[in-house]
């Protein structure tokens, strides 16, 4: 079996899905390569070291635990894309000859480096070392043998005449002398002018439109059932009988930083946003409400650290003033720990942040009314899109797509 897999699709859930879709299209355009269904660990799709290094497959979540695999297969088949191959099928039938493909970005000089030549490019060499640390255990355990290593160093440019064609790109990694190989990539960020620059529109990450691609991805039945359990046992509400508050800080914070906002100003901004939640909920006259937020144990770790204390050092380290203010507005008297534990219980003990995040997204999409805070988030745009399929009750607080 000629298989292709990727150590990581780089970003979290929504963007990772767009990147994986680009990879599936690349594989199909490159000779019907079989793409292996990725694992899912804390919103990352791929084959992370947490799974590979420890050979821990039995407890690992897969793409199918986040998303409805059957529906994804049906939708992608409309584009002539074959189904994802399961991990067990891959291990049982994949070629043991491996071509390793390293992709590095924004690290001149650009170019293609093969085998020992990777030592001439520092980031290619560093990325290869990271790749080996993650995969050496699995390669040895299942008798895979690396026969070739290729590194593509690229940088952002709008000048399409500088892009390699698909045929040129593939010529370095698909060798007819080794037709039966496994192609194992490092990080696939998707084909785009500021990502992987290949001159082929079909394989671009959002060529068919971001909304169309995300519509192909339905939530898994497992997450839907756990989301219903949370609504019933924690909110004690009927289906569609509650309001959801979707609060995203990460990308909006990054956008504000790029426009010269100070940390203190950003913290105050989001604190004021959190304070406005209670006013909107009173206006909506809803008895039950749920908070979906990217802070805390199930949120973005970079944002959690950023919001952990303010310039006066008054944050307590267990959450943030922003987080606790939002919790108070939505639930009344609820601690951060209680908030986390309620979701873990509803998920039957799962603590994976991506799984819980998908639960929160599902709860929000099925709410009677949705209150949205933040912006600059494909995860949030997808949430709004799916919610509007069911209800036109959407309220915005501190929400902007572009600054």
Joined tokens for residue 117 = 């030549």
Helix (H, G, I), strand (E, B) or coil at 34: strand
Q: For position 370, what pLDDT does the model report?
A: 98
pTM score: 0.89
| Average pLDDT, integer, range 168-183 | 86
My answer on whether 109 and 230 are in the same domain is no
Last residue of a domain, one of 197, 215, 233: 215
My answer on whether 198 and 236 are in the same domain is no
CATH of the domain at 70: 3.40.50
Total domains, the chain: 2
My answer on whether 236 and 98 are in the same domain is no
Q: Which residues contact 296 (CB under 8 A, 6 or more apart)?
A: 304, 319, 323, 336, 339, 340
Last residue of a domain, one of 215, 235, 257: 215
- Tell me how far apart the alpha carbons of residues 365 and 396 are, in angstroms, rounded to a whole number: 15
My answer on whether 232 and 270 are in the same domain is yes
Model confidence band, residue 300 (pLDDT cutoffs 50, 70, 90): confident
Joined tokens for residue 241 = 């009988």
My answer on whether 227 and 210 are in the same domain is no
My answer on whether 199 and 239 are in the same domain is no
Q: What is the DSSP letter of 347?
A: T
My answer on whether 91 and 238 are in the same domain is no
My answer on whether 262 and 226 are in the same domain is yes
CA-atom Rg of the chain in angstroms? 22
Last residue of a domain, one of 157, 192, 215: 215
Query: Taking 70 as the threshold, does the pLDDT of residue 207 lie above it?
Result: no
My answer on whether 185 and 253 are in the same domain is no
My answer on whether 11 and 108 are in the same domain is yes
- Tell me how far apart the alpha carbons of residues 239 and 72 are, in angstroms, rounded to a whole number: 25
For residue 365, what are the domain limits? 221-399
**Which residues are bridge partners to 187 per DSSP?**
8
My answer on whether 72 and 92 are in the same domain is yes
- Tell me how far apart the alpha carbons of residues 82 and 104 are, in angstroms, rounded to a whole number: 28
Q: For position 53, what pLDDT does the model report?
A: 84
Query: Taking 50 as the threshold, does the pLDDT of residue 318 lie above it?
Result: no
pLDDT tens, position by position, 22-70: 999 999 999 879 999 999 999 899 999 889 988 888 889 999 999 999 9
Kind plus residue range of the DSSP H or E element containing 7: strand 3-12
| Average pLDDT, integer, range 327-353 | 95
My answer on whether 235 and 174 are in the same domain is no
């Amino acid at each position: 079996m000629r298989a292709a897999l990727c150590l990581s699709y780089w970003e979290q859930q929504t963007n990772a899905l767009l990147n994986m879709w680009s990879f599936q299209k690349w594989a199909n355009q490159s000779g019907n390569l079989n793409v292996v269904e990725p694992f899912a660990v804390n919103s990352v799709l791929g084959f992370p070291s947490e799974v590979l290094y420890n050979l821990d497959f039995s407890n690992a979540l897969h793409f199918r635990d986040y998303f409805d695999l059957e529906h994804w297969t049906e939708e992608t088949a409309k584009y002539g894309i074959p189904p994802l191959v399961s991990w067990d099928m891959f291990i049982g039938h994949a070629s043991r000859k491996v071509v390793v493909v390293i992709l590095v970005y924004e690290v001149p000089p650009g170019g293609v480096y093969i085998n020992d030549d990777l030592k001439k490019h520092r980031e290619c060499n560093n990325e290869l070392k990271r790749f080996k640390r993650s995969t050496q255990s699995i390669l040895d355990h299942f008798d895979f043998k690396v026969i070739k290593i290729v590194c593509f160093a690229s940088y952002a440019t709008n000048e399409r005449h500088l892009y390699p064609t698909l045929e040129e790109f593939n010529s370095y990694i698909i060798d007819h002398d080794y037709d039966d190989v496994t192609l194992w990539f490092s990080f696939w960020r998707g084909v785009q002018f500021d990502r992987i620059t290949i001159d082929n529109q079909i394989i671009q990450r959002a060529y068919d439109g971001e909304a169309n691609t995300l519509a192909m991805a339905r939530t898994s039945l497992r997450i839907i059932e756990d989301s219903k359990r949370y609504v019933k046992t924690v909110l004690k509400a009927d289906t569609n009988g509650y309001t959801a508050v979707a609060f995203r800080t990460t990308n909006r914070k990054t956008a504000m930083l790029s426009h010269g906002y100070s940390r203190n100003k950003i913290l105050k901004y989001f604190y004021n946003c959190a304070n406005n939640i209670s006013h909107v909920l009173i206006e909506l006259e809803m008895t039950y409400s749920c908070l979906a937020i990217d802070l805390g144990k199930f949120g973005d770790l970079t944002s959690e650290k950023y919001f952990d204390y303010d310039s006066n050092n008054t944050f307590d380290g267990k959450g943030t003033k922003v987080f606790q203010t939002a919790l108070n507005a939505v639930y009344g008297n609820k601690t951060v720990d209680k908030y986390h534990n309620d979701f873990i219980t509803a998920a039957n003990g799962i603590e994976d942040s991506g799984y819980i995040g998908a639960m929160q997204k599902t709860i929000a999409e099925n709410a009677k009314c949705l209150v949205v805070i933040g912006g600059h988030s494909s995860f949030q745009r997808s949430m709004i899109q799916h919610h509007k399929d069911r209800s036109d009750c959407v309220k915005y607080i501190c929400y902007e797509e572009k600054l």
